[in-house]
Structure 1
């Protein structure tokens, strides 16, 4: 692959965005014929931004083969048909960056445009992005130069405005970036998307409701990116309509996960999807309570469908959220991982899962994503984690030049290493790293401990850290971090995350404290409900035959699976159970120990 240092630098000029833009651009170029040629005669990418309030921006990203013609079109013609361009044309302080490069061609500028939209979507200070295309390119002559050229463009833009263009490492750590609809899909995801869109097109021509499309895949298989891309593309056409505020949206996105809900709400807000419907992203119970089978919608997409409730709870009075939702839409697309069911209220029996799979498969609607895209680890490391969780066996930790799998000798060394990694924000391999734990220490949300302590703690001996969502946030932090997931908030480096705050998200490095619900006895791992403080996993569940049963071991196994598959570049483990801790240390040679 072409190295960044071997790629020439881009040419970037910033000018006012108004009727004098081109004259100002020409003046800034002076007599430099080479730069003039790159910006005026070659393909270019451009960014128009308006600071609507203090450090809050509206942004448009585009590409063109003629910046003079395109600028005049945006200023004189587009305001007559689109409100976003009308607002930009009347903005007093709007600015425009024009970006050129000697190797720009149509495919490369489209790729850079797409990458800019993906990055800018993740910037906290940007409230709205007005370009609505997703156009990542496949192979072309200079495709191998895209990443190094883009990095040089972004660094140069960062020099102009660090608030509008933060460090790349900060962008890539963002949950918005990881769930962005602008990611280039893998071949496996492209085939899945094509099958889904074909099925939707056929379903729209028929009166029936309740067609189920099921997308399965383990943690890190790319389910969320596929769903986000579908959600955006299915609604994109409506955004180009003049009266789209009165239109009924094609697709709703539902999720039962509070942290992931924040991410999708931001995506919908920044890309203008909330103008189709303020509740285009919502929780399943809210959707069920506000829709009827007499007026079904076109499409429902459900992320983390394994979190749907399979019994009544709180304001949900039904018995199965998925079955209720199938009555409210022509097509329901779910992404599902049976190994991420965490609570009894979500529990599905094996026969029930098999029936959903059979129903989908019989209609050609069962899609299985098999590529592992989260963990940058070799297959032996992934197999080691799979054996640990599902086969309840501890094997010798394999060598892996790409992935750090280490056993900490005490929880303090684990915490120290995670905090060290978190400070290394300049590196794409470090940065967003957090301590996590099994739910084996008491925690009651929004209540103080009975002993008068300020916080609920995860502890072992003299070591302790507060559980998540407890450390005080200033008013300024609350405003700035309102839409951020738990792990993205800076003070959470001093907290311990649970399965419920980290599920669905990536970390660069995850440090996992394994509590008393996971033990090692007689040569294998056991899951002990008595060691758990998570009543939502350990209470009995009424099965389909009316009997009550404990399904805690399955749920505790799934909870451990979620925790151990968060780290992209590394996983550090410490076990409170002495026999488990010793078995882990015995499996580790010197390079796999964290002293």
Structure 2
């Protein structure tokens, strides 16, 4: 069967309340005999929708429950009768005067397909700004079944029909799939490698909590783009299901905290202590105190999920007064699941000698607590393209750029041409989520988040200006967070804010995020000399890179080359569909261009 021959979905909306009669509602509508049979006697997927009341923060938003059933009449009656006695969320829905139930039927629906459709609807609605609360957090992604090949087209048809009926509640696919929440959603269909890892981690957590394992640290190891964050997000939702243990998620970037706070708010995940279940490590440790836990004055948290544990502080810094955040988190948690990639350490206050990571990884391996991911999931690219990037960041080599029909990898001789290409791939419609294609750069131009730059005019007058990335006489864009942002976009991550197409991002705003197309400006700290890539800390403006690091033996060492390499590694692996490169260093740019011909 061709895609054009796939039948259209049947979508009907009915009143939903304890005073409604679903049988009568269905009969009142002018359905054909086939439509009536598909709705009432075959598997269907349904969405119960109602306005959110009594929550000022979510004023104007909706609550949604997604489900699937083999008998929509019986299942609706079960919701309206039995479940209303036990669950306050259903009591509110059932007594609402405005609630509706949207029933979706299709002639190809079977049990497996409806479960996959249900899961995909959960993923989409979680990323939908109109939805403030989303119930039924189970993950139902299916393996192989007979109509699996048609799943994508059938779901797309369903969403398009829903959008035609109510675009405000069901926005376009682009609006949904480009959002940061969508990319970090716990409802993504996991790869076989990720599924095996998740099941193994859940089993290990159970063993630790029931005393069958003596070490409480589980490490997930994998390079950028191997799906570590998606795996952790799936664990976050799975481990926080009702009547289950409590699992905090700790992330190092304000951007990612916002994403997980939004996810937790929508699917109703809350911490017992009243603090945010999604938090930065320092804030978490300021609430869950090591001394108080050790003295028995505070209980340990059940589980701490730590994304990018390689960015945890390994010395006192700012509000953190301890010596090692990972150790402190372990001391206040029954179980810690930590994502680790030493090649993503970007600051000297998180830098540790290779021996530390070797010891940590070997210890986890000896305790059968090491989970390794190797499949590249972010970049839709050939193995040859991925290896080309790996050769740059691990071997200091620039090899011939491979031909890749799936991935757009280009080197530019003019930075403005690259910027124009990035803008071509960015949807200019001003929306909350469209167009995640951005420029980013190594931290080789001055920036201070706490004050403006002072520039001197021709007449000698000093005026405040943005911090800018300047290349020659023709390229001049502000660094991230310099342009004003409209109030409605302030809760979004940097890349999701529409004005940031006119800014240059950095590792501080983009680490852990996906971009559709990423234009990377490689600044003067990265050079090409004598046939090899070299790193020049004297050209970096990042003090957390250039300041010397005190090692375990007390000696101070310049580790800037390794940290700049790691920053480049992060930037080059952001693009899902394409990577554009411009190098400031003449020799590096010439070599990249030579290898692209």
Do the two structures share a fold, i.e. TM-score over 0.5?
yes
Distance 1:155 1:275, change over 3 A: farther
Whether 1:471 and 2:483 are equivalent positions in the alignment is yes
Once the two structures are TM-superposed, the CA of residue 27 in structure 1 deviates from its matched residue by: 4.2
| SS in structure 1 at match of 2:420 | helix
Given that 2:246 and 2:271 are in contact with CA atoms closer than 8 Å, whether structure 1 keeps it comes out as no
Q: Which residue of 2 aligns with 1:78?
A: 83
Q: 1:286 aligns with which of 273, 283, 288?
A: 283
Distance 1:584 1:31, change over 3 A: closer
Given that 2:180 and 2:513 are in contact with CA atoms closer than 8 Å, whether structure 1 keeps it comes out as yes
Q: In 1, Cα distance between the equivalents of 2:540 and 2:332? A: 38
Q: 2:113 aligns with which of 94, 108, 119?
A: 108
| SS in structure 2 at match of 1:469 | coil
Given that 2:215 and 2:367 are in contact with CA atoms closer than 8 Å, whether structure 1 keeps it comes out as no
Q: In 1, Cα distance between the equivalents of 2:415 and 2:428? A: 21
Whether 1:511 and 2:516 are equivalent positions in the alignment is no
Q: Which residue of 1 aligns with 2:9?
A: 10
Q: Which residue of 2 aligns with 1:242?
A: none
Given that 2:162 and 2:170 are in contact with CA atoms closer than 8 Å, whether structure 1 keeps it comes out as yes
Given that 1:509 and 1:571 are in contact with CA atoms closer than 8 Å, whether structure 2 keeps it comes out as yes
Q: TM-score normalised to the size of structure 2?
A: 0.93
Q: 1:222 aligns with which of 224, 227, 232?
A: 227
Given that 1:210 and 1:330 are in contact with CA atoms closer than 8 Å, whether structure 2 keeps it comes out as no
| SS in structure 2 at match of 1:215 | strand
Given that 2:454 and 2:465 are in contact with CA atoms closer than 8 Å, whether structure 1 keeps it comes out as no
Cα deviation, 1:411-468, whole Å, max 9, x if unaligned, reads 1111111011012889xxx932001111101111141112124311111012111111
Q: Which residue of 1 aligns with 2:501?
A: 493
Distance 1:73 1:271, change over 3 A: same
Q: Which residue of 2 aligns with 1:136?
A: 141
Whether 1:57 and 2:62 are equivalent positions in the alignment is yes
Q: Which residue of 2 aligns with 1:347?
A: 351
| SS in structure 1 at match of 2:230 | helix
Taking only aligned residues, the RMSD between alpha carbons, in angstroms, comes to 1.8
Q: Which residue of 2 aligns with 1:179?
A: 184
Q: In 1, Cα distance between the equivalents of 2:31 and 2:565? A: 68
Q: Which residue of 2 aligns with 1:206?
A: 211
Given that 1:527 and 1:557 are in contact with CA atoms closer than 8 Å, whether structure 2 keeps it comes out as yes
Once the two structures are TM-superposed, the CA of residue 518 in structure 1 deviates from its matched residue by: 0.5
Structure 1 gap ranges (5+): 240-248, 590-595
Once the two structures are TM-superposed, the CA of residue 476 in structure 1 deviates from its matched residue by: 3.7
Given that 1:209 and 1:331 are in contact with CA atoms closer than 8 Å, whether structure 2 keeps it comes out as no
Q: In 2, Cα distance between the equivalents of 1:31 and 1:525? A: 68
Structure 2 gap ranges (5+): 54-58, 456-462
Cα deviation, 1:371-420, whole Å, max 9, x if unaligned, reads 00111111111111111222111112111111111111211111111011
Once the two structures are TM-superposed, the CA of residue 266 in structure 1 deviates from its matched residue by: 0.9
| SS in structure 2 at match of 1:74 | helix
| SS in structure 2 at match of 1:441 | coil
Given that 2:41 and 2:70 are in contact with CA atoms closer than 8 Å, whether structure 1 keeps it comes out as yes
Given that 2:217 and 2:336 are in contact with CA atoms closer than 8 Å, whether structure 1 keeps it comes out as yes
Aligned length: 572
Given that 1:185 and 1:226 are in contact with CA atoms closer than 8 Å, whether structure 2 keeps it comes out as yes
Once the two structures are TM-superposed, the CA of residue 188 in structure 1 deviates from its matched residue by: 1.0
Distance 1:208 1:388, change over 3 A: closer
Q: In 1, Cα distance between the equivalents of 2:21 and 2:310? A: 52
Q: In 1, Cα distance between the equivalents of 2:327 and 2:576? A: 35
Distance 1:48 1:278, change over 3 A: farther
Q: In 2, Cα distance between the equivalents of 1:24 and 1:453? A: 69
Whether 1:257 and 2:260 are equivalent positions in the alignment is no
Taking the TM superposition and a 5 Å limit, the aligned residue runs for 1:429-440 are 431-440=435-444
Once the two structures are TM-superposed, the CA of residue 470 in structure 1 deviates from its matched residue by: 1.5
Whether 1:587 and 2:595 are equivalent positions in the alignment is yes
Whether 1:160 and 2:156 are equivalent positions in the alignment is no
Q: 1:457 aligns with which of 460, 463, 468?
A: 468
Most deviating of 176-185 and 113-122: 176-185
Once the two structures are TM-superposed, the CA of residue 475 in structure 1 deviates from its matched residue by: 2.8
Taking the TM superposition and a 5 Å limit, the aligned residue runs for 1:36-51 are 36-51=36-51
Q: In 2, Cα distance between the equivalents of 1:512 and 1:425? A: 23
Taking the TM superposition and a 5 Å limit, the aligned residue runs for 1:538-557 are 538-557=546-565
Given that 1:44 and 1:65 are in contact with CA atoms closer than 8 Å, whether structure 2 keeps it comes out as yes
Q: Which residue of 2 aligns with 1:521?
A: 529
| SS in structure 2 at match of 1:238 | coil
Distance 1:275 1:36, change over 3 A: farther
Cα deviation, 1:43-85, whole Å, max 9, x if unaligned, reads 1100111122764111110111111111122222222111111
Given that 1:169 and 1:425 are in contact with CA atoms closer than 8 Å, whether structure 2 keeps it comes out as no
Distance 1:477 1:432, change over 3 A: closer
Distance 1:209 1:28, change over 3 A: farther
Given that 1:210 and 1:332 are in contact with CA atoms closer than 8 Å, whether structure 2 keeps it comes out as no
Most deviating of 314-323 and 282-291: 282-291
Q: 2:101 aligns with which of 55, 80, 96?
A: 96
Q: In 2, Cα distance between the equivalents of 1:352 and 1:175? A: 33
Distance 1:440 1:475, change over 3 A: same
Q: Which residue of 1 aligns with 2:25?
A: 25
Q: In 1, Cα distance between the equivalents of 2:507 and 2:214? A: 35
Q: Which residue of 2 aligns with 1:268?
A: 264
Taking the TM superposition and a 5 Å limit, the aligned residue runs for 1:398-437 are 398-423=402-427, 431-437=435-441
Most deviating of 543-552 and 85-94: 85-94
Once the two structures are TM-superposed, the CA of residue 500 in structure 1 deviates from its matched residue by: 0.9
Q: In 1, Cα distance between the equivalents of 2:43 and 2:182? A: 26
Q: In 2, Cα distance between the equivalents of 1:3 and 1:224? A: 36
Q: In 1, Cα distance between the equivalents of 2:28 and 2:525? A: 66
Q: TM-score normalised to the size of structure 1?
A: 0.93
